[in-house]
Amino acid sequence: MLIEIADRSGFCFGVERAIKLTEESADKYGEVWTLGPLIHNRIVTDSLQKQGIKIADEVAQAAGKPLVIRSHGVTEETENEARALCSVCIDATCPFVKKIHKIVSEQPEDSAVIILGDKTHPEVIGIKGHARCRVFVCADFEEIRGLYEHKALSPDEDVALVIQTTFDRGSFLGYSEDIRKCYNRVKIYDTICNATSERQKNAEELAKRAALMIVVGGKSSSNTGKLAEICARHCTTVFVENAEELPKQLLKGLRSDSIIGITAGASTPAYTIKEVHDSMNEEIKNINEIEEDFAALLEQDQSFTRLYNGKRVKATVVSISKKEAVVEVGAKQTGYIVRDELTNDPNAEVADVVKVGDVIDAIVIKVDDSVGTAALSKKRVDAALGMEKIAASKEANETLEGAVTAAVKGGVIVIANGTRVFIPASQTGVPRSGKLEDLVKKTVQFKVIEIDERRGRVVGSIRQANKEVRDAEKAKFWESIEVGQKFEGEVRSIEDYGVFVDIGAVDGLVRTSELTWNRVGHPKDIVSIGDKITVIVKSYDPEKKRVSLSAKDPDENPWTKFVADYAVDDVIKATVVSITEFGAFAQIIPGVDGLIHISQISTDRITNIASVLAVGQEVDVKIIDIDTEKSRVSLSIKALMEESAPAEDADAE
Ligand code: F3S
């Protein structure tokens, strides 16, 4: 707010002159009297009284003493009386008023004088007392016209019109033409004091710009009252005699850029104007201080985060308990997040989710200023962020990981990125005979197969994720498989012709003959489902996705041992292990059987092998051939029989 003092406020030339003359007289004569208050301002007159200047209600009261005639002037009669009775008559009548006295006194006796002004005002009374003709005092044009209408004055009379020095010039100019129309021979003397008109003009200009005008001056001062009247046409106006009379909370409701105008009547001393000015200044200062304090408070307040429902904040965990985490969010309120708002995982403890010092994203869900707390939620932020990530993952066909938190009707719930994901039972990978509960608390990988962001619903598939993993493993397997590659496999199934072994990406077939170096009756005699066995790739077909395996350890190959230890013509013992139409197989060492062809069983002709040999029977045989390429051994009983026959014959001879 700005305080502006109107130009020409306060003492006018005439008042200043009167006060100066009075004070000088007081200095000169010691005791001085004024005829009535020197000016219409109690403060000034009180001050003068303190200087020993006394007020006389009538001239006789100051008889023999120096008497000051005030600036308003007095009647000619009073003036003469003062000169006659008082020791000194100091005429402090304002020269502008004196001029009016002169105009009026010079009017012919058969003429008339109209004084436009306040008939009770001492100035007007004094003016009136200088006329030698008829005098009419009119307050306004209506009263002037009234003189004409009531035939107090005729239109052709000589009329002199003078105006009280402090009359509002604007009002006078408004009807001066009308006056001329009423009276043909009127002489209008514009005796309005420029000091007054300029004061009024300045006050009015200021009032038009101001939000509030303070008019300072004596309540009985006509010119001050006039100023208040003019100002009140344009803005809120208060009329005070001094600073003490300023109403309380005068500035209440005014804008901070308001102008506070001050004007003062001609009889208002500068120090009273200053007091009012200082008082207003003080009040503005107070307001500014309050506003500054408020602004500071506001600023201080703004250094805190303003919390409202739905606001997302960074929260620092300051303490945790079983039920909640207390967080600092830079607000006036103490933030807290109850366990259920920390995570969607019903199995998680507060300490599983956050620890002291963690900075987390949270959303305000309830502010309670009455107790200074703010309830927040982490899981809702996580869910929102999670939903975005999940949508992006689906778009990118990524595999997500999450913890299974519960088995529900028709499936399981997985929490991933803070979001609940429903995995239908058919997509869990758990067989019908299995239990979904077994998945709870396990970390699983899944693919997102359906999202309903509006309902916050996400459906996933563990099966699909597993399938992708398997497909990838298979692809990698077929890219890297080699004959001779060794695998640790698990027997998956047993058939009559062999066993299928899981070697990771695929199941390979180990034919019965490849299960062991030894002779095998049925695969189940060697292995059981679930057995872990070492296998070697014998061959593979990427097109048909088939792999032939062997469980035989090359280092244990009995043929190698056989060729190292045995040679053609060696006579050895062998055990018959099977009999066929074309001969009998006899085991030389485990894993190496030799064939005793039907023609090599005896020197006699044999038609029924079983009549001469039996399975399990140990026989002496001679190795007659070793086919290293085909790993075949030919044995002969007959060769031994022939070798021994001549000797027997010789003995007989
Ligand atoms: Fe004189 Fe004008 Fe003041 S008439 S007393 S100077 S207002």
Q: Is the pLDDT of residue 287 over 60?
A: yes
Pocket flag, ligand 1, residue 100 (CB < 6 Å): no
Q: Ligand 1 centroid to 53 CA: how many Å? A: 22
Q: Is the pLDDT of residue 195 over 80?
A: yes
User: If you average pLDDT over residues 640-644, what whole number do you get?
Assistant: 89
Q: Ligand 1 centroid to 379 CA: how many Å? A: 84
pLDDT of residue 615: 94
Pocket flag, ligand 1, residue 74 (CB < 6 Å): no
CB 276 within 8 A of CB 210: no
Nearest protein CA to atom 1 of ligand 1, as residue:
14
Pocket flag, ligand 1, residue 94 (CB < 6 Å): yes
pLDDT of residue 292: 60
Tell me the per-residue pLDDT of 395-427, one tens digit each, with 9 for 90 and over.
888 899 999 999 988 899 998 887 889 999 999
Q: Ligand 1 centroid to 582 CA: how many Å? A: 163
- Residue among 379, 433, 381 nearest 405 (CA): 379
Pocket flag, ligand 1, residue 165 (CB < 6 Å): yes
CB 276 within 8 A of CB 217: no
Give first-to-last CA distance, the chain, whole Å.
Answer: 161
Pocket flag, ligand 1, residue 195 (CB < 6 Å): yes
pLDDT of residue 223: 82
Report for 17-31, 309-323, 619-633: range of highest mean pLDDT: 619-633
Nearest protein CA to atom 5 of ligand 1, as residue:
14
Tell me the per-residue pLDDT of 577-617, one tens digit each, with 9 for 90 and over.
999 999 999 999 988 999 999 999 999 988 899 999 999 99
- What Cα–Cα distance (Å) separates residue 257 from each residue in 121, 231, 254, 279, 530? 40, 19, 8, 18, 93
User: If you average pLDDT over residues 266-274, what whole number do you get?
Assistant: 85
Locate the ligand 1 atom nearest the alpha carbon of residue 13 and give its number.
6
CB 242 within 8 A of CB 43: yes
pLDDT of residue 294: 53
Tell me the per-residue pLDDT of 352-377, one tens digit each, with 9 for 90 and over.
999 999 999 999 998 887 778 899 99
Pocket flag, ligand 1, residue 224 (CB < 6 Å): no
Tell me the per-residue pLDDT of 100-125, one tens digit each, with 9 for 90 and over.
999 999 999 999 999 999 999 999 99
Nearest protein CA to atom 6 of ligand 1, as residue:
14
Q: Is the pLDDT of residue 289 over 80?
A: no
Nearest protein CA to atom 2 of ligand 1, as residue:
193
Q: Is the pLDDT of residue 99 over 60?
A: yes
Distance of CA 79 to the CA centre of its chain: 83
Site to probe by mutation for ligand 1, drawn from 15, 121, 169 as the one with most ligand atoms within 8 Å of Cβ, is 15
Q: Is the pLDDT of residue 514 over 70?
A: yes
Q: Tell me which long-range contacts 43-50 makes (C-beta under 8 A, separation of at least 24).
A: 43/218, 43/241, 43/242, 43/269, 43/272, 44/19, 44/267, 44/269, 47/269, 48/19, 48/22, 48/23
Locate the ligand 1 atom nearest the alpha carbon of residue 12 and give its number.
3
Pocket flag, ligand 1, residue 478 (CB < 6 Å): no
Pocket flag, ligand 1, residue 19 (CB < 6 Å): no
Pocket flag, ligand 1, residue 515 (CB < 6 Å): no
Locate the ligand 1 atom nearest the alpha carbon of residue 166 and give its number.
7
Q: Ligand 1 centroid to 14 CA: how many Å? A: 4
Reported confidence tier of residue 303, pLDDT bands at 50, 70, 90: low
- Residue among 215, 185, 220, 178 nearest 200 (CA): 215
Residues with a known catalytic role: 123
H/E element holding 74? none
pLDDT of residue 650: 44
Reported confidence tier of residue 329, pLDDT bands at 50, 70, 90: confident
pLDDT of residue 104: 96
Task: Give this prediction's pTM.
Answer: 0.45
User: If you average pLDDT over residues 248-253, what whole number do you get?
Assistant: 79
- Per residue, the 3-state secondary structure of 442-465, as one string, reads CEEEEEEEEEECCCCEEEEEHHHH
